Amino acid sequence: MVPLVRELGARAVHYRATWWEVEQRSFTAGRLLRRLGNRYFGSDWNALVPVVDEVRLARHLPRRGAFVAHFIWAEFARPRIGTLFRRGGRGRLVGTFHASPSRLPEMVHRPSDLEVFDAITLMGSCQLPFFLDMKVLRERLHVILHGVDARYFTPAEKQSGRGDALRGLMIGVTERDHAFLARVVRRLPPGVLRLRVATSDVQWKHYEGVEGVERLSALGAEELREEYRRADLLLMPVFDCVANNAVLESMACGTPVMINRVGAAGEYVPEDCGLLMDGKDEESWSVELTRVHAEREELERRGHQARRRAEALDWGGVAGRYRNLFKMLLETS
């Protein structure tokens, strides 16, 4: 979300949670403060300490004129004392939630935990039912898809040719189903796929002993971009998902995505931009990979469409939707 702040020309407020600072001196005291915050804010993921951190954050607000205070990671930081952030009615509060429907119950426990916000922005339509069940009025909910820096993540010419093994890529940890992907690779005929994987030690264990899989070390920004560019296909079987940086960055580099149809996958990856699979069936994935291995032109077409989709989700355009929302809120008395 940092590029969004930059595109909006907004002031970014970075903070270090009080409980974390206390924990450096006393682990027990820090943990107690964190648990207190979890109960107070109704989130197992909350990073704020009641009142103390709310006051710290409120000090950064403008002293004059109307403004919007946007909590861009509302799962981790959201206030309860709304009057601190409204400054006599001049301010409006917006919270953005990124978590998938399966994780949201850990992050929001009570309808009252959301009452502080004038508007809530979501990363996918799949999140709507949860917030509606939490008694949030539909007019306060706004689905604004996540953006990507399509000016930095750009395509390059693919080097692989007909008959070569597909160059697959898998990036990340959160909600990725590495165990499933490892089983798929085991089923493939020889020469269909060579997979490069960047993940944690725990997830890498699923690939041990699997032929044709190479582990990548920690990647810098430019190295990551080159991996997206050189790959023929990003493979992303997931347990659940809303926005996914790896998916968007891969598409911006002209590399189509193979992902199961869950959460908001279809909103980010339309049918012509990748391979949307109905569920996670090892045989189906294996058959589809074998098919596109023989039909490279199809992957090229889908890669071009993926790039166009990413351009439509460039942060510049996404920022425009946030500007419109903020303008509407500030014009509402």
For residues 224 and 86, membership in a common domain is answered with no
Let me know if residue 159 belongs to a domain.
Answer: no
Partners of 214 in the beta sheet?
Answer: 196
CATH code, domain with 47: 3.40.50
Let me know if residue 155 belongs to a domain.
Answer: no
Q: What whole-number distance in Å separates Cα of residue 264 and Cα of residue 296?
A: 27
Let me know if residue 287 belongs to a domain.
Answer: yes
Residue 2: predicted pLDDT: 86
Range of the domain at 288: 166-312
For residues 22 and 110, membership in a common domain is answered with yes
CATH code, domain with 187: 3.40.50.2000
Q: Which parts of the chain fold into alpha helices (H)?
A: 2-8, 18-25, 27-41, 52-58, 82-86, 104-107, 128-133, 178-187, 201-204, 221-230, 245-252, 265-268, 282-294, 296-312, 315-331
Q: What whole-number distance in Å separates Cα of residue 195 and Cα of residue 208?
A: 13
To 10 degrees, the CA torsion angle through 44, 45, 51, 57? -170
For residues 278 and 324, membership in a common domain is answered with no
Query: What residues contact 239, with CB distance under 8 A and at least 6 apart?
Result: 102, 175, 176, 177, 262
Residue 333: predicted pLDDT: 60
Q: What whole-number distance in Å separates Cα of residue 61 and Cα of residue 63?
A: 6
Token reading at 24: 């450096």
**Total structural domains within the chain:** 2
Let me know if residue 59 belongs to a domain.
Answer: yes
For residues 185 and 240, membership in a common domain is answered with yes
For residues 54 and 94, membership in a common domain is answered with yes
Let me know if residue 120 belongs to a domain.
Answer: yes
For residues 63 and 94, membership in a common domain is answered with yes
* DSSP conformation letters of 30-70: HHHHHHHHHHHHT-TT--PPTTHHHHHHHTTS-SSS-EEEE
Q: What whole-number distance in Å separates Cα of residue 322 and Cα of residue 165?
A: 43
Token reading at 240: 């659940």
For residues 99 and 51, membership in a common domain is answered with yes
Collapse the DSSP code of 310 into the 3-class scheme (helix H, G, I; strand E, B; otherwise coil) and give the result.
helix
Let me know if residue 289 belongs to a domain.
Answer: yes
Per-residue b/e over 40-51, b at no fewer than 16 CB within 10 Å?
bbbbbebbbbbe
For residues 259 and 327, membership in a common domain is answered with no
Give the Cβ contact number of residue 106 at 10 Å: 12
Let me know if residue 206 belongs to a domain.
Answer: yes
Residue 73: name the closest of 171, 150, 2 by CA: 2
For residues 88 and 187, membership in a common domain is answered with no
Token reading at 182: 């490892």
For residues 221 and 257, membership in a common domain is answered with yes
> Furthest-apart CA pair in the chain: how many Å?
68
Give the Cβ contact number of residue 82 at 10 Å: 15
For residues 70 and 114, membership in a common domain is answered with yes
Residue 148: name the closest of 312, 322, 287, 280 by CA: 312
Give the Cβ contact number of residue 272 at 10 Å: 14
Q: What's this model's pTM, rounded to 2 decimal places?
A: 0.92
For residues 138 and 188, membership in a common domain is answered with no
Q: What is the pLDDT along the chain (333 residues), one digit of tens a residue?
A: 889 999 999 999 887 778 888 889 999 998 999 899 999 999 888 888 899 899 999 999 999 999 999 999 999 899 999 999 999 899 999 999 999 999 999 999 999 999 999 999 999 999 999 999 999 999 999 999 999 999 999 999 877 667 789 999 999 999 999 999 999 999 999 999 999 999 999 999 999 999 999 999 889 999 999 999 999 999 999 999 999 999 999 999 999 999 999 999 999 999 999 999 999 999 999 999 999 999 989 999 999 999 999 999 999 999 999 999 999 999 986
Let me know if residue 156 belongs to a domain.
Answer: no
